[in-house]
């Protein structure tokens, strides 16, 4: 017991006994013990001055944290839509048969646990899995069996990925660096002039310090850059609001939690253009006079953490971060390492702040907005990785150059993650204004019946939408485009999206907590041939209520997969609803059996019923 106490004390001390670093501590505990025990929870509560309930509610919120042992080897297999399209069922069966237990359980000897996760940011190389935070991609049933044999032999997960083994080999670019050593591939199919164009480290910062903060801010505003995370809010306006907010200190937070299924562009930016991102944070810091920065990194990208820390250290050595940056007295900006998180959809700005401060990723009430009171109550700019990277090129090459790319209202380029039924899945940096049809041709789409633009919360478009432009004026996208071929049942993909939303709802507001389940259950009833025309109407009505009354972006957009397919693919629903039926079929006996099972009551034989 004394060793256990000492281990928990050491973990807390590593993070200065700071309650706002609770998530980092919990992750360290789980990595060490393979779960977060009640004893560890109570020790941390005493050490940090928190209640047991404070820590318990945080542990229970994040899907990669567990209060029960999850095995010496914890396997998380992605069951998102692209994974399903690429052979998830066969890989899952191979894992389960080779391990000897079903998903959601651990072997009797405690060696291997099998679990699923909604997305890993690996949509271009599915089927993918995490084993003790090590990423494995392009899995097949045979590869799954090979990995199980390695785990049964006791091979450490990281040792299963080397320069060239039967388990896998290093990926391209920086993925092969000693600080990463990952089998992940970049799949950068089409580099563009902004995020993946020519870049001279420090050039933008040197131009910044030769100007006033107000001039830098004016240049960003003149570029007409809009946020690349999906909402499209003018970046210069956001920075200006933060710069004018009252407060002794300001903060810059880079949101690297691209959690919606099908999105993986930030993974490549973090791998190949990390310095561009961090320099963008410093540009923002100069413009708004911030002194503190933080990177909010999704848990599935933890394999990049050591590499990102090395990039930060090198930039401090090169006087591009730290004190008197680029030789400018008083320009001090410190990015305090990489806090990594666990909940795929917690990256809406207010949820992000709650999570970054060590709590459940639930939405804050607004106002105040982050620009007024954000990270640790400081006025805070929260920008997407791609947005911050673009600001470096704007300062270096000028707003006029940036506006020459894209369209009048959507200036610059957009980095897209394209996956699904296509010959060339990967990352594409294209100018805004490119049409969906042009993108499908670039990616080598195979007989597409639909394209999901912007992830599950975006738009599901049919073949008639090939001339739709990717732009804020026409069809915006946070970055994901999923191509769904004619061979797939589209409503099965939509059901997967709805399962994602039901799982990721934080539960803090009723319309989202119950509405997502009601929509999914109604969809499934229709898919099973038990739906009515009334169901189609009720789904639209419920969707309207959710859009108007939920607290955050997830709830506002959770009904989009249903609404989009009702509008653009009505024939799929028509084919499943029996003609001349306005009364929903009801199986009384099945309902009674389900009720008995739920409450643990024995069924009564018909002859015994009174």
**Tens of pLDDT, residues 415-426:** 999 999 999 999
Peptide bond into 50 cis (omega under 30): no
Instruction: Say yes or no to pLDDT of 8 above 60.
Output: yes
Mean of all residue pLDDT scores within the chain: 91
Of 9-18, 163-172, 388-397, the least confident: 163-172
Peptide bond into 113 cis (omega under 30): no
The secondary structure element, H or E, covering residue 198 is none
Of 95-99, 290-294, 599-603, the least confident: 599-603
- Of all residues in the chain, what percent carry a pLDDT higher than 70? 95
CB 128 within 8 A of CB 122: yes
Of 27-31, 136-140, 520-524, 584-588, the least confident: 584-588
Structural fold of domain 489-610? de novo design (two linked rop proteins) (1.20.1440)
Among residues 462, 248, 241, 231, which one has the least CA distance to residue 371?
241
pLDDT in tens, 203-239: 999 999 999 999 999 999 999 999 998 789 999 999 9
Range(s) for CATH 1.20.1440.230 in the chain?
Answer: 489-610
Among residues 522, 491, 471, which one has the least CA distance to residue 81?
491
Measure the CA–CA gap between 124 and 186, rounded to whole angstroms: 9
CB atoms within 10 A of CB 589: 9
Segment 537-542 long-range contacts (CB within 8 Å, at least 24 positions apart): 539/566, 540/566, 542/515, 542/518
Tell me which of 361 and 141 has the higher pLDDT: 141
pLDDT at res. 366: 82
Measure the CA–CA gap between 361 and 345, rounded to whole angstroms: 9
pLDDT band at 430 (very low <50, low <70, confident <90, very high): very high
Classify domain 73-169 at the CATH superfamily level.
Glutaredoxin (3.40.30.10)
Instruction: Say yes or no to pLDDT of 298 above 70.
Output: yes
Average pLDDT over residues 319-331: 97
User: Measuring CA to CA, how many Å separate 560 from each of 80, 475, 601?
Assistant: 17, 14, 39
Task: Give the best-scoring range by mean pLDDT among 336-340, 409-413, 546-550.
Answer: 409-413
Tell me which of 434 and 587 has the higher pLDDT: 434
Among residues 319, 346, 167, 384, which one has the least CA distance to residue 260?
346
Among residues 301, 333, 303, which one has the least CA distance to residue 315?
333
Say which residues have a Cβ less than 8 Å from residue 511's Cβ, sequence separation at least 6: 545, 546, 549, 550, 555
Question: Domain 203-403 classified CATH 3.40.1710.10?
Answer: no
pLDDT band at 196 (very low <50, low <70, confident <90, very high): very high
Q: Show the tokens assigned to 295.
A: 């990177």
pLDDT at res. 1: 61
Measure the CA–CA gap between 403 and 407, rounded to whole angstroms: 8
pLDDT at res. 346: 42
3-state secondary structure of 296: strand
pLDDT at res. 154: 96
CB 487 within 8 A of CB 450: no
Measure the CA–CA gap between 275 and 428, rounded to whole angstroms: 20
Q: Show the tokens assigned to 485.
A: 């071929």
Say which residues have a Cβ less than 8 Å from residue 66's Cβ, sequence separation at least 6: 30, 35, 36
pLDDT band at 72 (very low <50, low <70, confident <90, very high): very high
CB atoms within 10 A of CB 150: 19
* Number of residues written out for the chain: 610
pTM for this model (two decimals): 0.92
pLDDT at res. 583: 55
Among residues 364, 370, 367, 333, which one has the least CA distance to residue 238?
370
pLDDT at res. 344: 41
Range(s) for CATH 3.10.20.600 in the chain?
Answer: 413-485
pLDDT at res. 353: 85
Average pLDDT over residues 1-27: 89
pLDDT band at 580 (very low <50, low <70, confident <90, very high): low
Instruction: Say yes or no to pLDDT of 342 above 50.
Output: no
Q: Show the tokens assigned to 484.
A: 């769904």
CB 435 within 8 A of CB 466: yes
pLDDT at res. 343: 43
Range(s) for CATH 3.40.30.10 in the chain?
Answer: 73-169
Measure the CA–CA gap between 109 and 242, rounded to whole angstroms: 54
pLDDT band at 289 (very low <50, low <70, confident <90, very high): very high
Of 111-125, 191-205, 326-340, the least confident: 326-340
pLDDT at res. 404: 98
Instruction: Say yes or no to pLDDT of 62 above 90.
Output: no
User: So what CATH class is 413-485?
Assistant: alpha beta
Give the CA-trace dihedral at 581, 584, 589, 592, to 10 degrees.
180
Instruction: Say yes or no to pLDDT of 31 above 90.
Output: no
Among residues 341, 283, 274, which one has the least CA distance to residue 309?
274
pLDDT at res. 349: 64
pLDDT in tens, 464-499: 999 999 999 999 988 999 999 999 999 999 999 999
CB 78 within 8 A of CB 88: yes
Q: End-to-end CA distance of the chain, in Å?
A: 59
């Amino acid at each position: 017991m004394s060793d256990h106490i000492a281990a928990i004390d050491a973990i807390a001390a590593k993070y200065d006994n700071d309650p706002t670093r609770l998530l980092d501590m919990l992750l360290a505990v789980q990595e060490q013990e393979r779960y977060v025990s009640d004893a560890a929870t109570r020790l941390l509560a005493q050490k940090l001055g928190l209640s047991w309930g404070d820590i318990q509610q945080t542990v229970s919120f994040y899907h990669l944290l567990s209060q029960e042992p999850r095995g010496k080897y914890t396997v998380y297999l992605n069951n998102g839509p692209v994974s399903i399209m690429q052979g998830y069922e066969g890989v899952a069966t191979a894992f389960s048969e080779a391990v000897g237990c079903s998903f959601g359980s651990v072997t009797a000897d405690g060696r291997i646990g099998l679990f699923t996760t909604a997305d890993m940011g690996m949509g271009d190389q599915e089927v993918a899995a995490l084993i003790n935070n090590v990423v494995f991609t392009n899995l097949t049933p045979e590869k799954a069996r090979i990995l199980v044999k390695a785990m049964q032999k006791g091979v450490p997960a990281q040792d299963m990925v080397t320069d060239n083994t039967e388990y896998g080999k290093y990926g391209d670019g920086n993925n092969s660096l000693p600080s990463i050593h990952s089998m992940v591939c970049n799949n950068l199919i089409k580099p563009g002039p902004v995020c993946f164009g020519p870049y001279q480290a420090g050039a933008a910062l040197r131009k910044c310090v030769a100007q006033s903060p107000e001039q830098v801010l004016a240049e960003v505003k003149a570029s007409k850059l809009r946020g690349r995370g999906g909402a499209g809010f003018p970046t210069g306006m956001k920075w200006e609001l933060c710069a004018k907010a009252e407060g002794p200190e300001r903060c810059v937070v880079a949101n690297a939690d691209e959690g919606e299924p099908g999105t993986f562009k930030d993974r490549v930016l973090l791998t190949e253009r990390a310095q561009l991102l961090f320099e963008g944070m410093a540009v923002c810091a100069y413009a708004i006079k911030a002194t503190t920065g933080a990177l909010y990194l999704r848990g599935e990208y933890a394999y990049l953490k050591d590499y990102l820390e090395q990039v930060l250290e090198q930039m401090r050595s090169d006087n591009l971060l730290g004190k008197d940056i680029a030789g400018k007295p008083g320009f001090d900006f410190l990015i305090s390492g990489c806090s990594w998180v666990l909940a795929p959809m917690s990256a809406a700005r207010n949820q992000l702040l709650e999570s970054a401060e060590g709590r459940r990723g639930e939405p804050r009430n607004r106002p105040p907005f982050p620009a007024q009171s954000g990270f640790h109550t400081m006025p805070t700019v929260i920008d997407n990785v791609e947005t911050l990277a673009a600001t470096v090129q704007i300062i270096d090459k000028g707003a006029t150059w940036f506006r020459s790319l894209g369209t009048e209202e959507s200036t610059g380029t957009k980095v897209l993650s394209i996956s699904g039924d296509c010959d060339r899945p990967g990352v594409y940096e294209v100018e805004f204004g490119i049409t969906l049809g042009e993108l499908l041709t670039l990616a080598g789409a195979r007989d597409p019946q639909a394209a999901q633009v912007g992830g599950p919360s975006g738009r599901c478009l049919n073949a008639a939408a090939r001339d739709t432009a990717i732009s804020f004026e026409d069809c915006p996208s946070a970055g994901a485009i999923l191509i769904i071929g004619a061979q797939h049942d589209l409503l099965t993909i939509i059901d997967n999206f709805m399962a994602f939303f039901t799982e990721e709802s934080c539960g803090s507001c009723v319309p989202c907590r119950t509405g997502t389940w009601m929509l999914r259950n109604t969809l499934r009833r229709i898919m099973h041939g038990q739906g009515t025309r009334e169901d189609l109407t009720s789904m639209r009505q419920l969707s309207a209520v959710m859009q108007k009354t939920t607290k955050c972006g997830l709830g506002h957009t959770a009904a989009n997969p249903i609404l989009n397919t009702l509008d653009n693919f009505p024939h799929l629903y028509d084919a499943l609803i029996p003609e001349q039926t306005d009364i929903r079929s009801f199986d009384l006996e099945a309902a009674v059996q389900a009720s008995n099972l739920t409450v643990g009551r024995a069924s009564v034989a018909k002859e015994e019923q009174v």
